[in-house]
Amino acid sequence: MKDTGALLSDLQRATFLQNIRNLNGQEGVFTAVRSHVNKTYQQQVDRHLVGVDCNPWYLAGALRHAFAHGALTATPQNVQPQAMGTVARFLSRGLFQCMDTEFRERVRQFEQMLDG
């Protein structure tokens, strides 16, 4: 996870984080998730919640971890009813776009090597 910070440029990360922060109910989502993850993830969630730069993939990982281990439901207490789904969909789309970009670049490099 620690190497994922390089998958986005500074501008992409800042824009992505700002878009997450603009989602209705996102603060409640990450507050609910925070207590279910380890210290490294908590630090990234804390950074996000106070509005400073963080690694958005840790936010996605924290959400996945909390759900996968059964500690979090789709509608946790004190979270706006549709916020969890909104945040999860946004992070999921971001992850897929990032993976697609990374995959295209690796294929391009591989094809260059073959043409080499």
pLDDT given at position 69: 76
Distance CA 67, CA 74 (A): 8
Distance CA 67, CA 23 (A): 20
pLDDT given at position 74: 72
Dump pLDDT digits (tens) for 50-87: 999 999 999 999 999 988 877 777 777 788 889 999 99
